[in-house]
Amino acid sequence: MSLHDRLESLEWISDAEFEAYGMNTAGITEDPRGHN
């Protein structure tokens, strides 16, 4: 089960998983094609 699925199902995730998810999504939402 992916982190996204776990968040959607409101299943508790560890701080480490949350940080990894946050950093991952930050890299995705900050689209380099749009900024560079």
13-24 burial, b at 16+ Cβ within 10 Å, e below that, comes to eeeeeeeebeee
Q: What is the DSSP letter of 30?
A: S
pLDDT tens digit string along 16-36? 776 776 665 555 555 556 554
Write down the domain spans for the chain.
3-31
pLDDT tens digit string along 4-14? 776 666 666 66
**Stretch (H or E) spanning 15:** helix 15-29
pLDDT of res. 11: 62
pLDDT of res. 5: 74
Supply the pTM of this predicted model: 0.25
